[in-house]
Amino acid sequence: MQEAFVNINEIPTHVMTWGKWIEESFADHEREVVICITGNPGLPGFYTQFLSTLHNNLDAKTPVWVIGHAGHDEPSASSVRKVPPLSGNESKFELNAQLKHKIEFIETYVPAHVKIHLIGHSIGAWMILQLLKESRIKDRLQKCYLLFPTVERMAVSPNGVVFTKLVLPVFFAVRMLAKFVNCLPISLRVLMISAYFWITSTPRFFLGTTLKYLRPTILDCVVHLAKEEMERVTDLEVDIVQDNVDLLKFYYGTTDGWVPVKYYDEIKVRVPGIDAELDEFRISHSFVLREAVPMGEIVADWIKRYSVKAS
């Protein structure tokens, strides 16, 4: 695995890769790559186990890449690259900017002859639907895998109601708490997060990424994006799904507070022939934390089925 921050759409962006670094050239016979667009928060570190498992279950020569969202991760304090603050730069971190960010990444680093398997988790799935409106991206896609897809009615979902009615009104207090926690010695922060992980059965593997996530500047960008998601992700864009039904694979959870099972039931009726699957293993929306391995194995099987070599 390799990782670094690269400038994409003028923002230092965390990229992680397995199998081939983004700046390495592709030979003529290397014809596919897997790219993951994260959910929110968009910190690639949360996807390490999922994508490591996926890569280990694919042909070792198939590169697997993940790109974080602009503003959701920061280089080390010693880096010359700096993420601009949210205040005064809101347009750099909104949904349209995140889409432009992904387009620039693909056009910069994926050669024209290489087909893309595009994975979108949560809001990443909605971003994929928007990218399908861009012929310059759509023509390069082999298959899209939409995991626990928040592509409609986010604000009225159970978790959306909690976020808009309970979390947003007290976010200032949450931010103050995060600011206080970040002033504590690192040893104490590690102890607090470790205790939370023990209570919630979260692997300690994610300790470093969680420490980043709790930075107030990152929380600002995460919540800024989430607020816009509540406003914009409303009605399902049925036309996009219908027009691209052969490119899309949907995977819905049975315990998902962001995407209730009724959303799965309804899309099956509204889009005849859609490839939509309902999870049988009680995998959670935030699968990257506790069910990364089984989800990685599932997606790897899909990619092998729809690979360039198999088509």
| Averages of pLDDT over each 10 residues, the chain, 311 residues | 92 95 91 97 93 93 94 80 87 95 97 96 98 96 98 98 93 82 82 82 80 83 95 97 97 97 97 96 95 97 87 56
Per the annotation, the verdict on 122 as an active-site residue is yes
Residue 30's Cβ-side half-sphere holds a number of Cα atoms within 13 Å equal to: 16
Q: Is residue 40 helix, strand or coil?
A: coil
Instruction: Single out the catalytic residue among 256, 279, 284, 286.
Output: 256
Cα gap 96→91, rounded to integer Å: 8
Q: Does the annotation mark 256 as catalytic? A: yes
DSSP E strands, 99-176: 115-121, 141-147
Q: What are the b/e assignments for 259-278, b being 16+ CB within 10 Å? A: bbeebbeebeeebeebbbee
User: Which residue type is seen at 191?
Assistant: L
- pLDDT at site 189: 84
Residue 112 neighbours by CB under 8 Å, 6+ apart? 140
The three-class DSSP label of residue 72 is coil
Q: Say how far apart CA 167 and CA 226 lie, in whole Å.
A: 11
For 8, phi then psi, to 5°, come to -130, 125
CB 295 within 8 A of CB 50: yes
Q: Both tokens of residue 266?
A: 């309804």
CATH classification for the domain delimited by 2-153+235-305, as one of 1.10.3720.10, 3.40.50.1820, 3.40.50.1000, 3.30.1340.10:
3.40.50.1820
* Residue 128: other Cβ atoms inside 10 A: 27
CA distance 142 to 307: 7
pLDDT at 15: 97
CA dist 126 and 244 (Å) reads 13
**Phi, psi for residue 143 in degrees, rounded to 5:** -165, 150
Q: Is the dihedral of CA 110, 103, 153, 230 positive or negative?
A: positive
Q: Could you give the count of Cα atoms lying within 13 Å of 209 in the half-sphere of its Cβ? A: 20
Catalytic residue among 220, 285, 286, 307: 285
Residue 279 tokens, joined:
């999870």
Strand ranges inside the chain, DSSP E: 2-8, 11-18, 32-37, 64-67, 115-121, 141-147, 248-252, 276-278
Q: Which pLDDT belongs to residue 311?
A: 56
| CA separation for the pair 5, 15 (Å, rounded) | 6
How much is the pLDDT for 227? 96
For the chain, the structural domain boundaries read 2-153+235-305
Query: In Å, how far from its chain's centre is CA 126?
Result: 10
118: CB partners within 8 A, 6+ apart? 35, 37, 128, 131, 141, 143, 144, 145
The residue annotated as part of the active site, out of 122, 284, 286, 307, is: 122
pTM of the full structure: 0.93
Q: Cβ contacts of residue 75 below 8 Å, gap of 6+?
A: 5, 12, 81, 82, 83
Return the pLDDT at 174. Answer: 81
Please report the pLDDT score of residue 310 as a whole number: 61
Q: Would you call 285 a catalytic residue per the annotation?
A: yes
